[in-house]
Amino acid sequence: MRVDFPRVMAHVHRSIEEIAPIDSPEALTAAGVNVVHGDAIFTGADTVTVDSRPIQFLQAVITTGARPTVPPITGIDAVDYLTSETLWDLTALPQRLLVIGAGNIGCEMAQAFARLGSKVTLVGRAETILPKEDESASSVLAAALGADGVTVLTSTEVVDIDSRCARTDSGRVIEFDQVLLATGRTPRTDTLGLDAAGVAVDGRGYVTVDDHLTTSNPRIWAAGDLTGHPHFTHTAGMHGSLAASNAVLGLPRKVDTTGTPRVTFTDPEIASAGIDVRTARRIPGLRLQTLDHDDIDRAVTENRTEGSTTLVLDAKHRIVGACVVGPRAGETIGELVLAVKHGMRTRDLAAATHPYPTYNDGPWNAAIADVRAQLGTPAVSLALSTLARMRSVWIRRRKSIDEQQN
């Protein structure tokens, strides 16, 4: 089946145009914000110039974000490579696409273009794709990518490249028509004149902030990707609200990273929150409660049982992390974010009625399984059996009294 690629990209651009007005310069202007266009450079602790126009401020918030990282590959400067920012300018489907970087963006784009008809090769340096996720989750996605025709190369590094082919550290030659760099992001801080403003950055260029998102200059705050916090749109949104209210109103609000979710929008999706499963395996006192989705009726009905739900639990059965693999995992993770943030126990989640049949049965049934395991411990079993015997005795006595009265 041939895909109408220009029509696909037209749909993408329409979606972007519909979303963009939410925080566009026009929307900000309508809200009463004075929007000035240009390159900003700090010239002092409370001054900035925008295209040579001096502006003095009482407080400032820096939200310049991050740009795609260009890896130090020999010959890369002579290649017309794509990034997550320029990919959307394509007008023709690449017949052969090389994706360098097997994180969430690399995996998402590799699968998308394979399904559109490109011959895709995905290269990652780590032993698994999505190296921040547990291997059990990564392996499910790796299998899905393979089924879509993606050639997945892990523990592999591209060391040399030109406009037609790339060579790996093992000597493998990969021919391509387009190459997409998906090797992370670098903070946009190097051209802001932060030294003049007294704003400190770390060795990677990230702005140093405290729990209130205040920089080393008490007049200036920073929010979003340039702080070194997780590079997610939802994180940046929360940062912006917090930094602005702290700066303008003088509030002491602190960043709360408890339960911050991340989602890889592949098929299946992989969503995590709180302490990730990979880390939990190395922390004494934490344990995992996993439910495979062949026990989820919705997954069985849709023949999508390759996924799973894993809860990370502490000694008090509090949910401190979670990972969901499967369709609409990004929606499923929402209640688990709430559970992590508020220190909910598995019994709290198990006691909440969930709609049937949905993929949210995964977290619910995983919680129920943990509660049942608690009921099976010797102490609890003894208590329950004692209560059951007492109840039985009470019923027999009540029956005897009723019979005598009648």
Residue 360, in any domain of the structure: yes
Tell me: do 98 and 18 sit in the same domain: no
CATH of the domain at 135: 3.50.50.60
pLDDT (mean) for 250-279:
93
Phi, psi of 53 (to 5 degrees): -90, 115
Same domain, 368 and 267: yes
pLDDT higher than threshold 80 for residue 184: yes
Q: Check whether residue 266 and residue 370 sit in a common domain.
A: yes
Write out pLDDT tens, residues 70-111.
Answer: 999 999 999 999 999 999 999 999 999 999 999 999 999 999
**Confidence check: pLDDT of 21 > 90:** no
Q: Which residues contact 396 (CB under 8 A, 6 or more apart)?
A: none
Boundary (domain end) residue, out of 183, 212, 238: 183
Give domain status of residue 228, yes or no.
no
pLDDT score, position 60:
96
pLDDT attached to residue 25: 86
Region 339-360 average pLDDT: 95
What's the structural domain count of the chain?
3
Q: Which residues in 246-381 belong to E strands, given as ranges? A: 262-264, 269-274, 287-292, 308-313, 319-326
Domain match, 363 and 282 both: yes
Per-residue pLDDT reduced to its tens digit, 125-171: 999 999 999 999 999 999 999 999 999 999 999 999 998 999 999 99
Tell me, what's the pLDDT at 380? 66
pLDDT band at residue 384 using 50, 70 and 90 as cut-offs: low
Is 171 among the domain residues?
yes
Q: Are residues 5 and 99 in the same domain?
A: no
pLDDT by residue (tens digit) across 199-222?
999 999 999 999 999 999 999 999
Q: Is the pLDDT of residue 383 over 70?
A: no
Angstrom distance (rounded) from CA 277 to CA 109: 24
Q: Distance between CA atoms of 33 and 386, rounded to whole angstroms?
A: 68
Instruction: Confirm if 221 and 243 have CB atoms less than 8 A apart.
Output: yes
Which tokens sit at 401?
């009294």
* 92 C-beta neighbours (distance < 10 Å), count: 10
Confirm whether 205 is domain-assigned. Answer: no
> Long-range contacts made by residues 288-295, C-beta under 8 angstroms, separation at least 24?
288/312, 288/313, 289/313, 289/346, 289/366, 289/367, 289/369, 289/370, 290/366, 291/362, 291/365, 291/366, 291/369, 293/325, 293/326, 293/359, 293/362, 295/365
Q: Would 206 be classed as within a structural domain?
A: no
Q: What angle do CA 211, 212, 213 make, to 5 degrees?
A: 90
Which residue type is seen at 266? Answer: T
Domain check: are 365 and 283 in the same one?
yes
CATH number of the CATH domain containing 269: 3.30.390.30
> Do both 270 and 348 map to the same domain?
yes
The pairing of strands 319-326 and 308-313 is: antiparallel
171 and 81 within one domain? yes
Same domain, 279 and 179: no
Residue 288 pLDDT exceeds 90:
yes
- Nearest Cα to Cα of residue 322 among 367, 381, 257: 367
What span, in angstroms and rounded, lies between the C-alpha atoms of 303 and 307?
A: 11
In a domain, 198, yes or no: no
Domain membership of residue 136 as a residue range: 76-183
Residues 322, 366: Cα–Cα separation, whole Å: 11
At residue 259, the pLDDT reads: 87
Q: What are phi and psi of 193, to 5 degrees?
A: 70, 40
Q: Are 108 and 264 in contact (CB under 8 A)?
A: yes
288 found inside a domain: yes
User: Are both 266 and 318 inside the same structural domain?
Assistant: yes
How far apart (Å, rounded) are the C-alpha atoms in residues 144 and 107?
Answer: 11
φ, ψ of residue 201 in degrees (nearest 5): -125, 160
Position 398 in a domain: no
CA proximity to 60, closest of 206, 207, 214: 214
